[in-house]
Amino acid sequence: MNKLEWLIAWRYLGAQRKSLFVSLIGIFSMLGVSIGVFALVVALAAVNGFEEEVTAQMIGKDAHFELMAYNGENISAYDSLITEVKKHDSSVVNASPFIIYKVGISSRKVNDGIVIYGIDQENSKGVTDIYKYMKFGNYSVDSLEDMNGTRRPGILLGSGLANRLRVVVGDKLVLQLFQNPDEMVGSAGGPRMMMAVVSGIFETGTYEYDGNLAYIGIPELQKLMGIGDAVSGIQFRVKDHWKAGESCDKAAEWLTYPYYVLDWKSKNITLLKWMNYEKFIVAAVICLIILVAAFNIISSLIMVVIDKTKEIGILRSMGLSKGGVMRVFMLMGSFIGVGGTIVGGTIGLVLCKLQEAYHFVKLPGDVYVIPYFPISVHLLDVVLIFVIGIALCVAATLLPAWKASRLDPVGAIRHE
């Protein structure tokens, strides 16, 4: 491409008195490209942000993978199992036993049902991130004194659950475990109870977790459930959480019945698949906006060809080749595509960075899993958006550019 072709293409894009309407169509085509690219940048950043936030919340509450027994059976020899897993898998960095059960919980004013975890206070820090989300009090399930000076087990509550129970750090709670039918035969059948003191309140930002989970020490929950030294399972953390499935495959090779392993992705497979489908569908639908803008470019260039037919004939008679004419109109469409892509992409990136930094767009926490609109800009997505936007616009120039290059010089000069 020579300088003359660039100058002609740029002049044809300018608003002249005789072709003002044609120039306006070009401007609107550029606006269409800008809107499409802007929407695509923001939408994909939002999908990425939502996926990352949800993944972080899942990993923060859950371990990377868990070892449990079928039919909900308890595990007694958990120390030897931890040793064996670490022996077979060098990627395992931490492990901690846990108990999970549903219990009744009562404060002075409210009765409720919750999911409670029995944890080892120190080892649990190596497999989950709940300790990072403490809002009030301390991450401690050790015994502490209540307001009357009596030492009782400490319990950690989610902020939503604490609000529902109307309790603060230092308040007493009663845990209730109802016996199963087998235990009730020949007995009074009353519930087992334990009094605990709120030692801390955490807030992960995920409504389902904060409103339904509590944590207490393993020995206290074992005593309440009457299961001796047994636990529900073992939680593990690996070096790379995306490779937790590989660790599960390694463990499955030597584990025998009744044990099995489950990684965090398998536990949340439906949600993860939905997020992947959502990203693809959102990108495909919004690309239609850019495609519509590309058709507008075709229309505007065809009108330019019709409007400039005589001038094209003069240029051809002066020695401009068919390829030169074709490149002129391809440059026109490229100016529109590149300009629209840069403008729309820049505005979208600036808006995304502002939301990423200041979270000025909020979401209701009881409806969504996070309290603000999540944004995460991926460089690869931005590059693909720019490439797709420009490629569609350049492709749209081929037909009118080819049409212009095929005009007969003599017939074009005679055109009125």
Please identify, among 257, 285, 306, the residue that sits at the C-terminal boundary of a domain.
257
Q: Is residue 66 part of a domain?
A: no
How many residues are listed for the chain in this entry?
Answer: 416
Helices (H), 268-321: 269-307, 309-317
Both 213 and 279 in one domain: the answer is: no
Q: Is residue 67 part of a domain?
A: no
Strands 213-217 and 111-119, how do they pair?
parallel
Separation between Cα atoms, residue 199 and residue 292, nearest integer Å: 59
Separation between Cα atoms, residue 338 and residue 356, nearest integer Å: 26
| Location of structure tokens 């409210």 | 110
Show the domain range for 11.
3-58+271-414
pLDDT given for residue 21 in this prediction: 60
What is the DSSP code string of 151-189? EE-EEEEEHHHHHHHT--TT-EEEEEEPPPHHHHTTS--
Per the structure, the count of domains in the chain is 2
Both 192 and 100 in one domain: the answer is: yes
Both 395 and 325 in one domain: the answer is: yes
pLDDT given for residue 181 in this prediction: 44
Q: Looking at the DSSP assignment, which residues form a beta bridge with residue 75?
A: 231
Both 104 and 218 in one domain: the answer is: yes
Both 277 and 404 in one domain: the answer is: yes
pLDDT given for residue 366 in this prediction: 61
Both 350 and 247 in one domain: the answer is: no
Both 52 and 198 in one domain: the answer is: no
| pTM greater than 0.75 (yes/no) | no
Neighbours of 371 (CB within 10 A): 16
Surface-to-core class of residue 83, CB atoms within 10 Å of its CB (0-12 exposed, 13-18 middle, 19+ buried): exposed
Separation between Cα atoms, residue 222 and residue 77, nearest integer Å: 15
Beta-carbon contacts of 416 under 8 Å, excluding residues fewer than 6 positions away, are: 310
pLDDT given for residue 415 in this prediction: 57
Both 145 and 100 in one domain: the answer is: yes
CB 168 within 8 A of CB 162: yes
Q: Is residue 31 part of a domain?
A: yes
| Location of structure tokens 């800008």 | 34
Separation between Cα atoms, residue 360 and residue 372, nearest integer Å: 8
Both 211 and 121 in one domain: the answer is: yes
Please identify, among 231, 257, 283, the residue that sits at the C-terminal boundary of a domain.
257
Report residue 305: phi and psi, to 5°: -60, -45
Separation between Cα atoms, residue 176 and residue 339, nearest integer Å: 66
pLDDT along the chain (416 residues), means of 10: 75 59 71 88 89 78 89 89 92 93 90 92 89 90 77 91 92 82 49 89 83 92 91 93 90 90 88 83 82 79 74 77 81 84 92 88 70 86 87 84 76 61
Separation between Cα atoms, residue 309 and residue 312, nearest integer Å: 5
Both 242 and 282 in one domain: the answer is: no
Nearest to 360 by CA among 348, 351, 349, 369: 351
Burial per residue of 19-28, b for 16 or more beta-carbon CB atoms within 10 angstroms, e otherwise: beebbebbee
What is the DSSP code string of 80-113? HHHHHHHHH-TTEEEEEEEEEEEEEEE-SS-EEE
Both 154 and 300 in one domain: the answer is: no
pLDDT given for residue 272 in this prediction: 82
Burial per residue of 54-68, b for 16 or more beta-carbon CB atoms within 10 angstroms, e otherwise: bbbbbbbbbbbbbbb
Both 240 and 276 in one domain: the answer is: no
Nearest to 61 by CA among 199, 214, 164: 214
Separation between Cα atoms, residue 227 and residue 242, nearest integer Å: 34
Q: Is residue 64 part of a domain?
A: no
Structure tokens at 182: 């087998």
Structure tokens at 293: 């803008």
